Amino acid sequence: MPHQEHLPQARRQFAHRSRLRSAKAWLAALTGAVVLLLLAACPAIAAGETAAPTLRAEAVRGTGWNDTAPPAEGWTPVALPDSWATRWPGFDGVVWYRLTWEQPEQLREAGLLLNYLNMAGEVSLNGTTISRDESLVEPLTRAWNTPRYWLLAPPLLKPGTNTLLVRVSGLAPYQAGLGPVEVGEPAAMQSRFERERLVRRDLQVLGLAVSAAVSAFFAAWWWLRRRETAYGWFAVMSVLWLLFAYNQIATSPWPFSSNHHWQALNTSLLLVFSVSYLLFVLRYCGRRLPRLEGAAALVALAGVLDLWLAPEPSLAVHRAIWTLVGGLTIIAVNSYALVYGWRHRGSPVRSIAPFMAISAVTGAHDLLVFTQVIDSNVYYTNMSSYVLLLGMALTQAARFAQSLRRIENFNTELIEEVNAAKAELAATLAQQHALELAHARIGERVNLVSDLHDGLGGMLVGSIATLERKPENLSAPELLAMLKRLRDDLRLIIDATGHDHGARALGELLVPMRHRSAQLLDANGIDCRWQVSGIETLELPPSQSLDLMRFLQEALTNVLKHSASRRVDVTVERAGAELQLSVRDDGRGFAVDDQTAGAGLRNLRTRARRLGAELHLQSRPGETRVALRMPLAT
């Protein structure tokens, strides 16, 4: 649980570094993910390094915010790192630190490392200013987490006694003071400075960038999948943590006019973050606890109001209380998630449990630092929180990869099922096609049988009956005519159905029929004229072709037998999607509505129904017209 302005109680410098290494080693044992990073940030003294000069540190309280020189009297020996809160309780202002050391004459260069000062300051060496923060009065420059390094050389550095004067402007509630200061070989000091800058600045900036990217990613995820509210709360808590962690690198309390308001905002963000973190964990576990969630929100609201309404003299106490509340809430939430993940093996929280364990351990460590139980100025929760972000990202990446595998497997299964369905459908269609062919052939045979029965069969039966009844009265010409009629009907059937492919152009089928009918009508003194158009390429099924031939044959037979006409006009033409057939004569006519009409008209009507066509009969003395309109298949 980071609280960034805490400076530990005064301890000796070497003991401080030793304990820091122990804390880092202990943390690295629990998380291999950050061990290399922490070890890289941990200062180590190279073997064979020249012994560093011993620094003697003293401190004196200034007389005002605008002091330009330290008081001559009142200097007190101190050990670095130093926090003046216990020495001068409640003091806000300027404290001067004077550090002296003996520089060996043979060493003409030295590196100077100042780990931090809290809050803002000015540094001078042997009376020459080498560093000064922008604002040394409120609103103070927030330089508490900024390491500083200088390469010292003559004439700035001189053999013998050197004096480093550090003017620190600070506020008592935020543990103002001066951190460790080291003088030594330039290369060693430069290396330690880079490690300090890596931990205190570079990693923080990197973490903020990662947090911003992850926040945007999960916000977009939630926007696209609103029902997954856990990701929405994760985006909210990531944004809150981004704002809270910005305190690590902020160098000004803007937009506030004092650091007190900045700290009130920082702790308020921590409280709101703890509530959003609770909601995220509950939603990620698939749970809702309305009473607990409401109570946590009320506590956070009370804390925010208390921080902004508390008077400045007591703000430090209020801030400490609410920081502990927020930190303990986060530790409790992490602990709950770990227990829940352990008990529910199918829960998604189990995949991020190791990262939450890191967060819980570092949170406990930073609370101990905040309460001064651990003597340190380095907070790890900011860095470990990015491990949690990384864990969420890896978890979602694994989930995405798993979804892709499921989709790929589904696609494979779908393709197999589609292929199987296609094969089954092809077999079914083939079977259906075979059945349709069989049905069509059977239908053709039935139609052929019917036509043979109605035409040739009827004629044969009639001829046989005639021969049986009065064979002695039949002359040779009558018998010959009877046989010719049978022959003609047989030819009609053969012409309509004789081709192997089952369909012939209607114009081709009409040729022999026109020839025979014309001869027959001419022999009886009837002038027969044909008009044929648009049927040269018209192909019809054999059954329809035969019915049309039968229809024409029946109509012409009626003209020959009953009309006593001298002329007949036959028209067969294709008009768009219709086939129009007409037989018109100039005979005596007949009664169209006569219910006792002969077999000829009945046959015409039957043929028309079988063809799905419209039959029109018009008759009066001198003109009789039989018309058929049959729609053609498209």
Task: Label residue 132 by pLDDT band (50, 70, 90).
Answer: very high
What would the two tokens of residue 159 be?
A: 């053999």
pLDDT at residue 320 above 90? no
DSSP SS3 for 17: helix
For 156-190, write each residue's pLDDT tens digit: 999 899 999 999 999 988 889 999 999 999 999 99
What would the two tokens of residue 619 be?
A: 């008759």
Residue with the bigger pLDDT between 269 and 29: it is 269
Side chain identity at 470, as an amino acid letter?
A: K
What was the pLDDT predicted at 583? 93
Q: What is the CATH number of domain 503-631?
A: 3.30.565.10
Percent of the residues in the chain that have a pLDDT greater than 70, as a whole number: 83
Residue 553 carries which DSSP code?
H
Residue 574 carries which DSSP code?
E
What was the pLDDT predicted at 50? 55
| Spatial CB neighbours of 584, under 8 Å, sequence gap ≥ 6 | 568, 569, 571, 623, 624, 625, 626
With residue 501 as reference, give the H or E element that holds it.
none
pLDDT at residue 193 above 90? yes
pLDDT at residue 298 above 90? yes
For 225-266, write each residue's pLDDT tens digit: 888 888 889 889 888 988 888 888 888 888 888 888 888 999
Residues 79, 55 contacting (CB under 8 angstroms): no
Task: Label residue 44 by pLDDT band (50, 70, 90).
Answer: very low
What would the two tokens of residue 288 be?
A: 């809702």
Task: For residue 406, list its beta bridge partners.
Answer: none
Segment 471-490 mean pLDDT: 73
What was the pLDDT predicted at 100? 95
Task: Label residue 217 by pLDDT band (50, 70, 90).
Answer: confident
Buried b (16+ CB within 10 A) or exposed e, 11-20: bebeebbeeb
Segment 78-104 mean pLDDT: 91
For 60-86, write each residue's pLDDT tens digit: 999 999 988 999 899 999 999 998 988
What was the pLDDT predicted at 51? 66
What would the two tokens of residue 384 be?
A: 């470990």
pLDDT at residue 126 above 90? yes
What was the pLDDT predicted at 8? 33
Can you count the helices (H) and strands (E) in the chain? 15, 19
pLDDT at residue 32 above 60? no
Residues 534, 573 contacting (CB under 8 angstroms): yes
Task: Label residue 511 by pLDDT band (50, 70, 90).
Answer: confident
DSSP SS3 for 440: helix
Segment 317-338 mean pLDDT: 90
Q: Long-range contacts made by residues 226-229, C-beta under 8 angstroms, separation at least 24?
A: 229/283
Task: Label residue 112 by pLDDT band (50, 70, 90).
Answer: very high
Query: How far, in Å, CA of 98 to CA of 475, rounded?
Result: 158
Query: In the block, which residue shows the tokens 């003395």?
Result: 621
What would the two tokens of residue 534 be?
A: 């648009």
Residue with the bigger pLDDT between 383 and 429: it is 429
Q: How many residues does the chain have?
A: 634
Query: How far, in Å, CA of 244 to CA of 14, rounded?
Result: 32
Closest CA relative to residue 613, chosen from 632, 592, 628: 628
What would the two tokens of residue 226 be?
A: 């609103």
pLDDT at residue 506 above 90? no
Instruction: Kindly tell me the sign of the dihedral angle through the C-alpha atoms of 313, 315, 317, 320.
Output: negative
pLDDT at residue 631 above 80? yes
